[in-house]
Structure 1
Amino acid sequence: MNSFISRTDLEVEKIAAPRYGVVLIDAILSFAERKELLTFLMVLFTPIVFWVEHVLIPNHMGPELYYVLIFGYSLLFNRRIYIFLMAVIFIGLRYYTYSEAFTSHNWSMLAITSALYIGIGVFSLSALKILQEARSTEMKSIYSLLQTIQMRDHYTAQHSRNVAEKSVWIAKELNLYAEFQQNLYVAGLLHDIGKIAIPDAILIKPDSLTVQEYSEIKKHPQLGMDLLQHAPVMRNQTIRDAILYHHERFDGNGYPTGLIGEEIPLSARIMAIADTYDAMTTNRVYQRKRSPEEALRIIKENAGTQFDPKLVTAFTTIMQKKLPEMRNVVSM
């Protein structure tokens, strides 16, 4: 149990960074997290600003370029004292550059500009910390949900991790963009959370389910949506779609809504394959474990009926690469 939780916690932190859905905010947070790239850009941009201010446009009195520098350094540093010192340095450079041109009016503008430098830096740093703390809180909320699944049903927890991993394999094979892969991974981890609301007598029943019991099982996608409705991750459409529609079938005979073909969101079509494959290749109280080859054959046989045939082709391709690697890991 502890091994699963610690590994999953690491995966969520490194792979499944939630997005805010606002391009500018996401880009700023991405830059702030990539310290090496940000350092390189600031080291490159800083002398360019000085060159523009001191050589290219020596009589330029606008502070706009220094605003950009202050903002950039506020992403790079994590303490207000550093931002304050950087602002003082820039103020000194501007004074040195334009000292001969200053009049009493210029001095008042210098004071205003100085306040703006410090204000922009402190505000940017504070806003960045608020956003990072919000993201950290969202990470913790995902982690708490994973712990809930783990404590309720160990099989479902491990199954969810496997589905998340294999869903990302398919997405990578299709060259889908990184953010989609990250969101798909989170969705995989949470796709069966609705099962914690299903009674044990049904969820882990060793015999065949009755019609009524199966109808209860079929409620778990909507139950998952209900349980997660106030969770920050539910802002993301990819995650919502995968959780709600991962049991839809390509021929329209799935649940909960009977969507057909490409009416089913891509994230859900991908997850349906990963979910079915892992369910067939793991031991369950009511079903024997199948070999990876047999499970792959069954999925290929159901292309066009249960699964999107294009995605089945992608899954077959990636599994042909992965199966030898998986056997080597097991034999070690």
Structure 2
Amino acid sequence: GADCIIATLGSFHKHMRSLVLKLLGPENLRLVLLHDVQRATQASLLSWLDQPSIELKEATSSMIFSVTSKRLISYDSSSSDGKLWKQFDAFTRGLIAFPIYVPGTAFYKCMQGRKNVMKILTKMLDERKRASRQDSVDFLDLLLDDLKKEKLLRNEKIALDLLFLLLFAGFETTSSGITAALKFLTDDPKALQELIEEHQSIRKRRVDPDSEITWEEYKSMKFTSHVIHEALRLSNIAPVMFRKATEDVHINGYTIPKGSKIMIDPSSVHLDSTVYKDPIVFNPWRWKWCLQGIHGLWRRGAVMCWC
């Protein structure tokens, strides 16, 4: 529809992006989110110790959701009955199911999950509007401020759709990336050992080995970043992306007519042997040389490198 946030363009899109960056941008990552993630990870790892086994994707999804939901809507997963997470989980499980809207099917449960999440978010929004005014503490407050000032958010439906999208995207893609990285590391003892050594060296440099992570430590994790890049390249956690051409696009001698619907396939680049040497091999070290190559080529006025 005309109010679909996926189709937003121009100033409206820039405005929504600025709202998101106020809460999830680099400054908050440094001051707040980094520590939130560390605490959530430690709590999850401790809780997993008492279990004979865990479903990794589900467990990491729940862990990340506890962080993002706290920042977006001040939702405390640990002290709630987990109702919101259960509805999101139902939505996720049926997201790529065959679209038969009949009770009992995965797609029906998916749609019911979304409907129930929207009911919960709507109730939260209504309660927040009636509550006594305080300083902005989460993304819901930012949305309410924007709605009251009648800026570019046209109605509450768009605000709630954006909230739903951020809550979903925040945990689903991140947990998929973590799961893929752990699978690749399990099959590559050499990479796992170098990753362990990088983190152990950081702990050894601390006065208190159990102190919270610092921004400088986070930025020093070079091999960790290589592992993340390589895991995302191989797993392609967003297998396809859909776009619509708002004007004629000319590229490599081809023209994509205005109005065309486009499906982008990242794996066609990520697994292309002309772009990456031995593309199906998990090789985090390729990013060390690639990034060094980019830096050198950039200084010489070029930007391409072969990894």
TM-score (norm 2): 0.30
Q: Which has the higher strand share?
A: 2
Q: Which has the larger radius of gyration?
A: 1
